[in-house]
A and B are shown apart, each in its own frame.
Chain A
Amino acid sequence: MKEVVLRHPLSSRIVHFVNMICWYGLFLSGILVYFKMVDNYERAFLMKLHILFAAILTLVIVSYIVVTPDRVFLFMQEVLNWDKDTIAWWKNFGGYPYKFLGKTKIYKYIEKFWFAKPGCPPQTKYNAGQKLLGLTVIFSLAILGFTGWFLYFFREALGKNGVLLFFNLHVWIAIIVTLFVTFVHIPLVLVNWPDFVSMFRLGSGTVPVEWAKEHNPKWFEREVAELKED
């Protein structure tokens, strides 16, 4: 009998999807404007688009907090819960360097280093790397939202130095976090295919139980219960 566990409920998947679309929309429009890659008229249009994406993203995140506070609580509790196994994960990055390089010729040069050792300490719903990503996204969304809307509504009141500070924070946090998400989060989630499928498939956001037991044993043992059999 096939056994599955619900990893990403519908509300979380909608927020993730909207966040993804709006984030890259905001990033592309922002980059084209900031580095002056287009004409003045197009820049004015792109800024309007930037504000539209920001308004949609803000609305969806606020709705998520108001409509499903229990999901927000569970997510915050999960990403803030750093136990000894979470810390131990960082000693060898959960065994990922070994998984990627273990069978290559490069491995014999790096096998004595701590980060290349095999094995992974048992993790909860998200592993230590995903927890760091979760915290990064939460804090960057808060800072980007605050600085962005402040620049939009109250730029006159900030003064020259305040505007420069808020503007630089807004631009460079967005660039650094987008690079991190694009070159670390996306490739790693593609490696963990069942997790990717559970987030983006049209059906339910489930993963196979064997996969959950292997990757997130603490979550499966402590926080998961049987719902039904059909």
Chain B
Amino acid sequence: MKWFVEKPASVRLSRRALLKIFGISIAAIAVGAYKITDLFAHRNKYIKMRQKGQYKDDERVRKVYKLAASHQNPMIKRFYDEFAIQPFGEVSEELLHTTYFKRTGGF
């Protein structure tokens, strides 16, 4: 049997050039990925802290009122019945949702 194979990449590109291309690409991806993940991990820290606080409040209310689930909270029920109409509605979004930015500029 006669065997044929594809010519190796080194015929089209020297080992040095191949290492340069992959070295630069991997370095760029690694630095970029590190910077992005660092940025988001930092941002996530504050969001997770706020979430933790909210869950803690929820647990406290459930203990006081002896509730099985969060949606039985009488304050939340009254808030939606009389005021905000529905979760994710315009009013609740404006009052309850927040955005994250640096608030320490004036200090």
Contacts and interface: CB of A to CB of B under 8 A. Distances in A.
B16 interface: no
Contacts, number: 83
Given A6-B6, A74-B6, A157-B47, A230 B12 contact: no
B3 A73 contact: no
B97 A70 contact: no
A74 B40 contact: no
B48 A156 contact: yes
Interface residues of A, number: 33
- B interface residue count range (under 10 / 10 to 19 / 20 to 34 / 35 or more): 20 to 34
Interface string B1-30: 111111111101100001001100000000
Interface string B66-103: 00000000000000000000000000000001010000
Which one of B22, B41, B48, B97 has the highest number of Cβ atoms from chain A below 10 Å of its Cβ?
Answer: B22
A106 interface: no
B102 to A, nearest CB: 15
A73 B9 contact: yes
Contact of B2 (A2, A69, A150, A160): A2
A73 B40 contact: no
Contacts of B9: 70-71, 73-74
Contacts of B40: 150, 153-154, 157
Contact of B7 (A69, A73, A209, A223): A223
B35 interface: no
A6 B2 contact: no
B54 interface: no
A59 interface: no
B87 to A, nearest CB: 12
Interface SS of chain A: helix, strand, loop or mixed? Answer: helix
Contacts of B4: 3-6, 209, 220, 224-227
A77 B12 contact: yes
Contact of B21 (A1, A73, A154, A220): A73
A228 interface: yes
Contacts of A154: 37, 40-41, 43-44
15 contacts: A2-B1, A3-B4, A5-B5, A65-B22, A70-B10, A73-B18, A74-B6, A153-B37, A154-B44, A223-B7, A224-B4, A225-B5, A225-B7, A227-B5, A228-B2
Closest 10 CB pairs of A and B: A70-B9, A5-B4, A156-B47, A154-B40, A157-B43, A3-B2, A227-B3, A157-B40, A227-B5, A157-B44
Given A77-B12, A157-B40, A1 B1 contact: yes
A57 B9 CA distance: 25
A229 interface: yes
Given A69-B18, A69-B22, A156 B2 contact: no
Contacts of A219: 6
Interface string A131-154: 000000000000000000010011
Contacts of B99: 159
Contacts of A5: 3-6
Interface string B34-59: 00010011011001100100000000
